[in-house]
Amino acid sequence: MKLAARDAARYFARPEPDRAGLLIFGADAMRVALKRQQVIAALIGPEGEGEMRLTRLPAADLRKDPAALQDAVKAQGFFPGPRVAFVEDANDLIAPLLTDALAAWQQGDAQIIVTAGALRAGSKLRKLFEAHKNAYAAGIYDDPPGRDEIEAELRRAGLVEISPAAMEDLSALARMLDPGDFRQTLEKLALYKLGDNTPLAPADIMACAPASTEADLDDVLHIVAEARLGEIGPVMRRLKGQGVQPVGLCIAATRHFRALYAASSDPGGPAAGLARLRPPVFGPRRDRMARQVQNWSLADLEAALGLLIETDLQLRSAAQHAPAMALVERTLIRLAKLAAL
């Protein structure tokens, strides 16, 4: 049977132990692996692998030893409880072996959990599980996790009290990060809030979100947009010492001012404009940019974008004579002066 995305999320959290098997497939190996870990942990519990109730069977090994799958499904261990035969990296070549194993499956046998990469609709493996009356097939796609999935991950990490603003920021963060990085961020948040009974707030998320070079770039971009002229020079020297490239800085500044322009020109107001940005802006950075929009007119933002585009063309020109970083710094100073008018 085929599991829809919403049904699959619920099933991974509370799988049915009397099912013969489950196929999890998708192009993103990390997403597939996380769902496989979740469903196996829910089936056999935290001690299941230590109690030898989990058998791992790489698909490549099954082609050399076809009887291994049947043996794993029928074997009885020393410890009571549900058992799992996990087949990793499956493809259509082992579909006949899985067909035989599912046909011979009986109550009390190990449940067959199979993972695979992207499978076409006509795949033999996919058709086998989708047509089987006592097995499921679930496709994992690159869509960002929904609110239900995020809430389930939060509960798993031990985070229960979440403010509405923090939930919005987590939803934005989930769209920006890979699934593995997002789960690690939630685990980091759980440790960060250990012993703290106050609801999770946007400031907590900012403290635990993965750091990147963009955080350093943000410093100078906020300084420019807020017309803090005297702080541009020291920050630029620090960025130069860190190896930030002039072209990258110019691109980041252009992206920042385009975001301000989009927010300023949105019919629903700056908050609505910032909410529509992709990638999304969240937390204190969103609030800070909303305040910056108030200090810029549309005409000034258009002029700022014109200066940045002109600077970018000069940086890429073969006829450039001025030092590249000095050229960018001069442009940023001109932008800050424009904001101060």
Confidence at residue 41, expressed as pLDDT on a 0 to 100 scale = 93
pLDDT at site 240: 81
Same domain, residue pair 56 and 152: no
DSSP for 228-294?
A: -GGGHHHHHHHHHHTT--HHHHHHHHHHHHHHHHHHHH-TT-HHHHHHT-SS---HHHHHHHHHHHH
Q: Which residue has the tokens 């794993």?
A: 72
Range of the domain at 185: 147-208
Average pLDDT over all residues of the chain: 86
Residue ending a domain, among 139, 170, 191, is 139
Indicate if 224 and 204 belong to the same structural domain. Answer: no
Q: Among the three residues 112, 139, 166, which one is the final residue of a domain in this structure?
A: 139
The helix/strand/coil state of 90 is: strand
∠ CA 283-287-293, rounded to 5°: 145
pLDDT (tens digit, 9 = 90+) per residue, 44-92?
998 888 889 999 999 999 988 989 999 999 988 788 889 999 999 999 9
Binning pLDDT at 50, 70 and 90, where does residue 211 land? low
Domain boundary among 139, 167, 193: 139
Give the burial class of 216: count Cβ atoms within 10 A of its Cβ; 0-12 exposed, 13-18 middle, 19 or more buried. middle
Domain identity same for 218 and 286? yes
Query: Do 7 and 29 sit in the same domain of this protein?
Result: yes
pLDDT at 176 over 80: no
Residues 228, 129 within the same domain: no
For 253-289, the pLDDT digits (tens) are 999 899 899 888 888 887 778 877 776 676 677 778 8
- The CATH number of the domain holding residue 325 is 1.20.272.10
pLDDT digits (tens, 9 = 90+) for 107-129: 999 999 999 999 998 999 999 99
**What are the CA-CA distances from residue 336 to residues 228, 262, 301, 307 (Å)?**
7, 19, 11, 12
CA distance between the termini of the chain: 65
- Into how many domains does the chain fold? 3
The answer to whether residues 115 and 151 belong to one domain is no
**Alpha-carbon gap, residue 53 to 67, rounded angstroms:** 18
Are residues 73 and 194 located together in one domain of the fold?
no
54-58 and 21-25 beta bridge pairing: unpaired
Tell whether 203 and 265 lie within a shared domain. no
Residues 313, 11: Cα–Cα separation, whole Å: 53
- In single-letter form, the type of residue at position 71 comes to D
How far apart are the C-alpha atoms of 301 and 95, rounded to whole Å? 59
Same domain? 166 vs 130:
no
Render pLDDT for 131-168 as a digit per residue (tens, 0 to 9).
Answer: 999 999 999 887 667 777 788 788 878 888 888 888 88
- Domain holding 95: CATH number? 3.40.50.300
pLDDT for the residue 216: 65
